[in-house]
Amino acid sequence: MLDPHSFYLFLGTAVVLVLTPGPDTVLILSRTLASGTLAGLMTLLGTQAGNVIHALLAGVGVSAIVLLVPSAYAVLKAAGVVYLLYLAIQAWRASTRLDLDMPLSAQGGPRRYFVQGLVNNLANPKMIAFFIALFPQFIRPEQGAVATQSLVLGVTLAAMAVMWIGFVVLAVGRMRARIATSPAVLCMANRLAAVTFAALALRLAAQRSP
């Protein structure tokens, strides 16, 4: 059972985290613009499934082991850099015309976007360090199983993100029809996403092992 005081403190911290845009948010919104609301929501669910997995790993200590093994950290870091660069190239080359009538199944299906969101979240070794640094501040071993407390915090964070970012996705999805008629706006959005992903890849590549 979580300590109520610690849980309320976590809620305050989670609000700040959810409202602060990151690479997951960029990916979610870019997929919403390119492929529609359902694609954005599935990408969102994938990223938050990743957060829950990170929380569980932090609870059982697996993430700490990864951080202590330089080779494991290096592999995750390389995977994150490659994937972010892949997303940057895809965004840069994305079409400036949207086919609003194209079904999601013709674009790879909902599963594709869920997996993309999941991998985007799990491939970033900074998320491991984030959960290792954050969770110990709010978990009290004397209150019960650490893994259970980590799961509750992870699910709470994911639920808050789904509610807020889901609202943003729905809003962007409603404006998509207007955006579809403006190649200039789509080009700018694609270029912004590409530059953001490339910058994140470079930053991750330059990051030293924690």
99-140 pLDDT, tens digit each: 544 445 545 578 888 988 898 888 766 666 667 666 667 777
* Backbone φ and ψ of 2, nearest 5°: -75, 145
CA–chain centroid gap for 112, Å, is 15
- Which pLDDT belongs to residue 62? 58
Residues in contact with 147: Cβ distance below 8 Å, sequence separation at least 6, in sequence order: 56, 59, 60
- Residue for token pair 């602060």: 20
Determine the Cα–Cα distance for residues 128 and 124; give it in Å rounded to an integer: 8
For 30, the token pair is: 């870019």
163-201 pLDDT, tens digit each: 999 999 999 888 876 766 667 766 777 777 778 778 877
34-59 pLDDT, tens digit each: 778 888 999 999 999 999 998 888 77
DSSP 29-57: HHHHHHH-HHHHHHHHHHHHHHHHHHHHH
Smallest Cα–Cα separation from 34: which of 169, 201, 195, 197? 169
